[in-house]
Structure 1
Amino acid sequence: MYDNLKSLGITNPDEIDRYSLRQEANNDILKIYFQKDKGEFFAKSVKFKYPRQRKNRCRRRRGPGI
């Protein structure tokens, strides 16, 4: 059911507490935070860095008289 998360190495998606997605230079950063266990000060997290995808935009050429 969670094939994409499993491919990232996340075996128990029910333990995910929250996530953040941000841009850093030419990269997108996905950070996933897991639920804290009792007595832990900080939540465990994992970070994934993906290169930004470039979008090719078609430019319309305007001919004479347009």
Structure 2
Amino acid sequence: MSVNYPSLHEMGIQNPEDISRYSLQNVNDVDILRVVYKRQKGSLLPHSKKFRFARSKRMVVADSGTNSTEILSEISPFLNKVIDELHQVVELKHTHQEHKAIILDEINRLEEEVHTRMTYIKSLVDKLD
């Protein structure tokens, strides 16, 4: 299977058919790719894995009249290939309803993370009294 997905293989993903979904976010000019696997109950393999990709920077002319320049950060060309391969793997597996459930699951995870972080910050404020 890795012959069909050379970029995933290069990242160390040996069984792309085990991938359930993926997400991508940008934090401080670093793209963070989270790959989620479908695992059998009791499996010792990780449920998800994160990969970090530095963004490439390039200088462009922002205003040709004043000759001012601007630095743009762009997604890595390798990461673009990886995302194309992940899209092929995942799109074949999910129906519209499954995509909806995945998005709702991501929203729930985000809400839990925000709630946990807010509770922690409030406890820090309480300690200041």
Q: So what's the TM-score if we normalise by structure 2? A: 0.42
Cα shift at 1:50: 0.9
1:7 aligns with 2:32: no
Spell out structure 1 runs of 4+ moving beyond 4 A.
Answer: none
- Mapped partners of 2:54, 2:39: distance in 1: 30
The answer to which structure has the higher helix fraction is 2
1:17 aligns with 2:20: yes
Write the deviation string for residues 23-56 of structure 1: whole angstroms up to 9, x where unpaired: 111210001010031256xx61111111122233
Secondary structure of 2:57 counterpart: coil
Q: Which moved more, 1:53-62 or 1:13-22?
A: 53-62
1:26 aligns with 2:29: yes
Report the residue type matching 2:11 in the other structure: L
Aligned residues: 61
Q: So what's the TM-score if we normalise by structure 1? A: 0.75
Aligned-residue RMSD, C-alpha: 2.0
Identity across aligned pairs (percent)? 33
- Mapped partners of 2:10, 2:47: distance in 1: 19
The answer to which structure has the higher strand fraction is 1
Report the residue type matching 1:5 in the other structure: L
Gaps in structure 2 of 5+ consecutive residues: 67-129
